[in-house]
C-alpha cells in the first residue's frame, strides 16, 4: 500500500475493489443486496473521482510528462461512469448483469494500476513538495467532510 500524498486515494481503490468482489459474490436472487452494494459503489466512486478531478488531475494535466496519462485518466472515469449507469439500469437478475460488472471491474483495475504504478509516482516527481503536501491536506480535509 502506498504511503504519502496519495495514500487515501489508494485506500479508496482497495475499498472499491472489495465492493466489486462482494457484488460478484452475490447470488442472482440477492436483488436488495446488489442494489445496496451498487449504490455504495457508485457513491464511493463519485467522491473518489471528484477528489482526483478537482485536486490531483489539474496539476498533472499541466505537466508535459503527466499530461497524456491525466487525459486518459479523465476518460477512464467517464467510461466507469457509463458502465455504472448501465449496471444501474440493467435487471439484476439478467444473466448479462455479472458480465457487465466484470467489465467494470476490469476497467477499474486497469485505471487503478495506471494511477498507482505510473501517475502517482510521476506526480511525486513533477510536483513540488509543497504542492504534494497541499494536495494531501486537501484530500484529507475532503474525506473528513
Task: Report pLDDT for 75.
Answer: 97
What gap in Å lies between CA 137 and CA 94, rounded to an integer?
A: 43
Domain covering 7-144, topology: 1.20.120
Helix, strand, or coil here: 53?
A: helix
The gap from C-alpha 109 to its chain's centroid, in whole angstroms, comes to 9
User: Is this model's pTM higher than 0.85 or not?
Assistant: yes
Q: pLDDT by residue for the chain (145 residues), tens digit each?
A: 455 789 999 999 999 999 999 999 999 899 999 999 999 999 999 999 999 999 999 999 999 999 999 999 999 999 999 999 999 999 988 889 999 999 999 999 999 999 999 999 999 999 999 999 999 999 999 988 8
Are 100 and 85 contacting, i.e. CB atoms less than 8 angstroms apart?
no
Task: Report pLDDT for 145.
Answer: 83
What gap in Å lies between CA 36 and CA 42, rounded to an integer?
A: 10
CA-based max dimension of the chain: 51
Task: Report pLDDT for 3.
Answer: 54
> Which cell is 73 given?
485518466
Pick from 71, 66, 52, 50: which is nearest to 9 by CA?
Answer: 52
Alpha helices in 26-128 (DSSP H): 31-51, 57-61, 64-89, 96-114, 120-126
Write down the domain spans for the chain. 7-144
Amino acid at each position: 500500500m502506498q504511503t504519502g500524498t496519495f495514500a487515501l486515494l489508494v485506500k479508496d481503490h482497495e475499498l472499491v475493489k472489495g465492493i466489486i468482489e462482494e457484488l460478484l459474490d452475490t447470488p442472482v436472487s440477492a436483488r436488495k443486496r446488489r442494489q445496496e452494494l451498487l449504490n455504495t459503489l457508485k457513491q464511493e466512486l463519485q467522491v473518489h473521482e471528484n477528489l482526483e478531478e478537482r485536486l490531483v488531475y489539474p496539476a498533472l494535466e499541466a505537466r508535459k510528462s503527466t499530461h497524456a496519462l491525466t487525459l486518459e485518466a479523465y476518460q477512464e472515469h467517464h467510461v466507469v461512469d457509463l458502465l455504472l449507469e448501465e449496471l444501474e439500469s440493467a435487471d439484476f437478475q439478467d444473466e448479462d448483469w455479472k458480465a457487465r460488472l466484470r467489465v467494470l471491474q476490469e476497467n477499474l483495475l486497469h485505471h487503478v494500476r495506471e494511477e498507482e504504478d505510473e501517475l502517482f509516482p510521476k506526480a511525486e516527481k513533477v510536483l513540488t513538495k509543497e504542492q504534494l503536501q497541499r494536495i494531501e491536506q486537501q484530500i484529507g480535509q475532503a474525506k473528513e467532510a
